[in-house]
């Protein structure tokens, strides 16, 4: 039968996995770092996953496809396994990959040097900060992934100093970062923007939001993206 169904552009897909959580039928999964539709009969064609894709890699098309099967969806969700017709899966979202990071523990917590906080305003969560806050005027702004402060030990002194810090997680926060950042840029004269993101694919949504905001606001101010590895090292600056 000809019906509506999702189509994923693999060239645009960066494997962030945001669409997977948005699909109520669990019809999507990461395969070799790309989002895949497991089986036609699991997709209702309504496109609930579209708004969550930061790369605009998902579209609704009409094509020959097996009919949507609610019973198959229920069985699939209850089993927690893909249907037999689905391709074999690689690991899940790269951001969820479990690993142990070995560190030198020769220095005890009592001996460690405690530096002062460089946070200059409150709140700092991007969803909570008011767009008309006066501290944005003539400010250098840091937009950082939640995990960055825990992964990179020198985030305060190395990046937060003399900046207004905004934090968020594009995978977990249900918010339109680009729209809010656009309003902040329109209302204030921001001097520069620095984005700190983790190396995991889903974190690319943070940098994409800043880029979209710059374009939408018409203010192409100096900005840069710094990528932090899961082991805390700076991978790209």
* Average pLDDT along the chain: 84
Establish whether domains 2-84 and 134-235 are of one fold: no
Choose between 82 and 94: higher pLDDT: 94
Q: Are 148 and 198 in contact (CB under 8 A)?
A: yes
Residue 159 half-sphere exposure, CB side, CA atoms within 13 Å?
26
Residue 43: Cβ within 10 Å count: 25
- β 2-8/58-64 pair status: antiparallel
Among candidate residues 185, 234, 229, 188, the one with its CA nearest the CA of residue 209: 185
What would the two tokens of residue 185 be? 């840029």
Residue-level length of the chain: 237
Structure tokens at 75: 């069985």
**Boundaries of every domain in the chain:** 2-84, 134-235
Q: How far is the C-alpha of 153 from the C-alpha of 161, rounded, in Å?
A: 14
How much of the chain, in percent, has pLDDT values that exceed 90?
56
Residue 21 has pLDDT above 60, yes or no: yes
Predicted confidence at residue 124, as pLDDT, reads 94
> 134-235 adopts what CATH topology?
Dna Topoisomerase Vi A Subunit; Chain: A, domain 2 (3.40.1360)
CATH fold of 2-84: Alpha-Beta Plaits (3.30.70)
**pTM over the 0.85 mark:** no
Instruction: Flag whether pLDDT at 90 surpasses 50.
Output: no
Give 44-72 pLDDT, tens digit per residue.
998 888 887 888 899 999 999 999 999 99
């Amino acid at each position: 039968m000809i019906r509506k169904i999702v189509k994923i552009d693999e060239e645009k897909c960066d494997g962030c996995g945001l669409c997977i959580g948005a699909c109520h039928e669990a019809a999507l999964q990461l395969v070799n770092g790309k989002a895949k539709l497991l089986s036609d009969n699991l997709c209702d064609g309504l496109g609930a996953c579209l708004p969550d894709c930061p790369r605009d890699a998902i579209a609704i098309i009409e094509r020959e496809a097996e009919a949507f099967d609610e019973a198959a969806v229920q069985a699939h969700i209850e089993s927690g396994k893909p249907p037999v017709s689905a391709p074999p899966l690689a690991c899940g979202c790269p951001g969820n990959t479990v690993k142990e990071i070995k560190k030198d523990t020769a220095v005890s917590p009592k001996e460690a040097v405690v530096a002062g906080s460089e946070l200059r305003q409150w709140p700092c969560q991007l969803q909570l900060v008011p767009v008309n806050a006066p501290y944005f005027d003539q400010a250098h702004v840091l937009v950082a992934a939640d995990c960055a402060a825990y992964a990179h030990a020198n985030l305060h002194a190395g990046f937060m100093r003399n900046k207004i810090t905004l934090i968020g997680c594009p995978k977990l926060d249900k918010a339109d970062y680009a729209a809010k950042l656009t309003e902040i840029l329109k209302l204030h004269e921001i001097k520069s923007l620095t984005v700190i993101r983790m190396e995991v694919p889903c974190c690319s949504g943070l940098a994409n939001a800043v880029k979209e905001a710059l374009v939408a606001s018409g203010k192409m101010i100096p900005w840069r993206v710094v990528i932090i590895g899961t082991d805390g090292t700076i991978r790209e600056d």
